[in-house]
Amino acid sequence: MGKYLRKKLIIYLITFFFAVTLDWAIPRFMPGDPISMLLARFNGLENSSDIVRSTFTKSFGLDQPLITQYFGFWKSLFTGDLGISIYLYPKKVSEIISQALIYDILLLLPAILLSWIVGNKLGARSGVNKKVDNIMMPFFYVLTSSPYFWFAVLLVFFFGVKLQIFPVNGAYSNIMIPGFNIQFILDFLYHWVLPFLSLFMVMLGGWAIGMRNMIIYEMGSNYSKYMESLGSSEKLIRKYAFRNAILPQVTGLALQLGTIVAGAFTTEIVFSYPGIGYILLKALLNQDYFLIQGCFLFIVICVLVANFLVDIVYMLIDPRVRFSFSGEV
């Protein structure tokens, strides 16, 4: 049990190290010398030029040897200093990200968990019933084939523009001041519905298909056949099959996180929802490299933490891992 977690943890640490190195190396070694291009871009500005230049020189440490730059990068990282945004000057990158984070959590966490639960339930239904399967599967396939943002656009068009039931912009109304009061919460939820729904639906398709295939596989497995031979009801066999089919779905949760993050970003862009994705878009449009780097690191850290949580859950539900009978999951 400990071995399993230790192995995972080592991989995550190496991954983190690798990601930070990559984050540091790419602006320095990419063809086309992005840093000098960036500097050149600010040469024309009057006031900010000097500040930007000094920020750059300090952060990138361009006058120092590479190895010093590299260690400097790590040092500033551990002090939480991710640099200063150019586009939202003079806000700190870490500050911008932590402000955006709450919206991501409130949007993504329910969408992921609910779509996972509902998708698994529907997929299991589909897997054991041919009629349900024939009706539901095409629907699931279309959902999982649609790009997240396109589905968001569809929802915006029908519910926002045509029917005008839901707002399609931002996380709350412009006149509202964020705060913990009932008015703001209601307004927030009102804005939350469409982005949530669009993420939820697209993810739902993928989970349902995965579960459907797994449950068919498990229902055809030898232990199911043995139970059938001993006169078990279909209900009990299904229960057993579901218990086993859910395992790869938990692993899938970790594997899909990357894709989900990408989907969430584009969805946020459609709704101008002030999460990391939206910030990232602004950063890209304004070539705000500190912010881009910060977002990258932050996404990597979040995904690593989420992966680790999934690993712990997996360990609790799969006895094979607990008794370390399988090295790799």
Among 209, 211, 214, 207, which Cα is nearest to 141's? 209
| Cβ proximity of 206 and 121 under 8 Å | no
- At its nearest, how many Å lie between another protein and the CB of residue 274? 16
102 binds another protein (CB under 8 A): no
131 binds another protein (CB under 8 A): no
Among 90, 124, 99, which Cα is nearest to 235's? 124
Query: Which residues in 36-65 contact another protein (CB under 8 A)?
Result: 37
Query: Which residues in 193-222 contact another protein (CB under 8 A)?
Result: 209, 213, 216-217, 220-222
Residue of 107, 194, 257, 279 that binds another protein (CB under 8 A): 257
Residue 185 or 312 having the CB closest to another protein: 312
Residue of 71, 74, 89, 226 that binds another protein (CB under 8 A): 226
Residues 6+ apart with CB under 8 A from 28: 35, 60, 66, 69
Q: Taking the CB of residue 218, how many other CB atoms lie within 10 A of it?
A: 23
26 binds another protein (CB under 8 A): yes
110 binds another protein (CB under 8 A): no
Distance in angstroms between the alpha carbons of the first and the last residue of the chain: 13
- At its nearest, how many Å lie between another protein and the CB of residue 182? 29
Query: Could you tell me how far CA 203 lies from the centroid of its own chain?
Result: 12
Residues 6+ apart with CB under 8 A from 87: 282, 283, 286, 288, 291
Number of residues that bind another protein (CB under 8 A): 89
| Tokens 């930070």 -> residue | 20
114 binds another protein (CB under 8 A): no
Residue 135 or 184 having the CB closest to another protein: 135
Residue of 52, 249, 293, 315 that binds another protein (CB under 8 A): 293
30 binds another protein (CB under 8 A): yes
95 binds another protein (CB under 8 A): no
Residue 47 or 229 having the CB closest to another protein: 229
- At its nearest, how many Å lie between another protein and the CB of residue 148? 7
- At its nearest, how many Å lie between another protein and the CB of residue 172? 19
Among 94, 271, 279, 298, which Cα is nearest to 188's? 271
Query: Which residues in 298-317 contact another protein (CB under 8 A)?
Result: 299-300, 303-304, 307, 317
Using the contact rule CB under 8 A, the part of the chain among 85-93, 105-113, 186-194, 280-288 near another protein is 280-288
Query: Which residues in 136-165 contact another protein (CB under 8 A)?
Result: 137, 141-142, 144-150, 153-154, 156-157, 160-161
| Cβ proximity of 290 and 41 under 8 Å | no
Quote the CA–CA distance of 301 and 313 in Å, as a whole number.
19
Here the tokens at position 40 are 């050149």
Using the contact rule CB under 8 A, the part of the chain among 54-62, 81-89, 183-191, 247-255 near another protein is 247-255
124 binds another protein (CB under 8 A): no
Peptide bond before residue 147 is cis, with ω within 30 degrees of 0: no
Residue of 6, 18, 53, 74 that binds another protein (CB under 8 A): 18
Quote the CA–CA distance of 228 and 317 in Å, as a whole number.
24
Query: Could you tell me how far CA 26 lies from the centroid of its own chain?
Result: 22
Q: Quick one: which H or E segment has residue 104? A: helix 93-128
Residue of 9, 14, 113, 309 that binds another protein (CB under 8 A): 14
